[in-house]
Amino acid sequence: MQFTIEVGRYSPDGTYADSASREESFPPPWDKSPPRRYQTYTVDLPEHAVVLDALIAIREYQDESLAVRCACRSAICGSCAMWVNGHSHLACKSKLSDFTKNGKTRVESPPSMPVVRDLIWDMGPLWKKHLAVKPWLEPKQPVPGPREEYRVPNAAMDELIQEVSCISCGCCLMDCESYAINENFLGPHALAKAYRYTGDPRDAATKERLAAYSGDGGIWDCTHCYECVTQCPKGVAPLEQILKLRKMAVDAGFTGNAGTRHADAFAESVRDSGRLNELTLMPKSTGLFNIIGQLRTLPSAFNLMRAGKLPPIIHRAIPGVQRIKTIFQRVGGRFK
Ligand code: SF4
Ligand code: SF4
Ligand code: FES
């Protein structure tokens, strides 16, 4: 079966084959990534072939200059993560026939990550974030003796199986919308790892971890776009782990930050009026007495005004709002 592959090439020294296309830039927020030049190849492979089979066939039999990273070819090592048709995937797990659109499949290194050459991207930012969450256990006292072991209930470890399945491929981070606009965000991969250690009953650093993850660039910077849940090839669902960390952080009293103020403002608005009053959301999230923070939000307010998207100053009351208040009473917690 014949497949057509369009490969995004990047050469740090600027040398390209004559058959490569003209430079193509990425749209915002990835427009800082160097433009790619695309080269089209045709390969003859069985119907069940995956994207990586095609790339290896190109490198072995057509163009030895193509740089592609892979190792296990079994969706275990995580080294072949790349963009396939504009989203992150493991090339060794992506069946070519499923990804062929309008007769071809486009592959390239993700523009959210520094590119080294062709399909190889620099994993440095991923490992930096990983290390930032201290991905190791701080042993709980008393530490068992040399011939003993920590006894942990099976259920506690079952709870962590999803996070342990992570292969650090970076698919979640490379497509994360928050990371795309804020490189300081720890991101879905590191935060899923963070829950793996924070949720482990053998760990003694729960409070310190939760304090650190609640700061700038931490658990509250995720915008719930679900991209990491959709793209993770191992079912880790990083967003779910971020939500668990948020609950742990709030339960432990780490609430004086923009993230928890935002959640509170959201809940209060719905509780009191039955609808979301976006006009009060930003000032309350920033902190009503945080004058400098309030001033920083002014450009966003002007942009909303210019675009005609400023919400109404006075909302009409919703009939039966008392029933919504009753729901809040029943759910209880701090949103009561
Ligand atoms: S859900 Fe959150 S962490 Fe996951 S990709 Fe979206 S912004 Fe990033
Ligand atoms: S959470 Fe999933 S997508 Fe993210 S690095 Fe781990 S395995 Fe890859
Ligand atoms: S080559 Fe190892 S995950 Fe694809």
For the stretch 140-173, pLDDT in tens is: 989 999 999 999 999 999 999 999 999 999 999 9
In this prediction, residues 302-326 reach a mean pLDDT of 80
Query: Range with the lowest mean pLDDT among 174-178, 252-256, 266-270?
Result: 266-270
- Strand ranges inside 109-261, DSSP E: 115-117, 120-121
The better pLDDT of the pair 47, 297 is held by 47
For residue 220 the two structure tokens come to 């509250």
2-121: CATH number: 3.10.20.30
Ligand 3 centroid – CA 166 distance (Å): 13
pLDDT score, position 299? 85
Ligand 3 centroid – CA 75 distance (Å): 5
Q: Are 195 and 246 a contacting pair, CB within 8 Å? A: no
pLDDT score, position 333? 65
Distance of CA 94 to the CA centre of its chain: 20
Which among 265, 250, 180, 253 has a CA at the least distance from the CA of 220? 250
In this prediction, residues 229-234 reach a mean pLDDT of 98
Scored b (16 or more CB within 10 A) or e, 262-301 reads bbbbbbbbbbebbeebbbebbbbbbeeeeeeeeeeeeeee
pTM: 0.90
Share of the chain above pLDDT 90, in %: 73
Ligand 2 centroid – CA 229 distance (Å): 9
Please tell me the CATH superfamily of domain 124-251, with its number.
Answer: Alpha-helical ferredoxin (1.10.1060.10)
CB of 130 within 6 A of ligand 2: the answer is: no
CB of 75 within 6 A of ligand 3: the answer is: yes
Domain boundaries, the chain: 2-121, 124-251, 258-335
Three-class SS of residue 53?
A: helix
CB of 238 within 6 A of ligand 3: the answer is: no
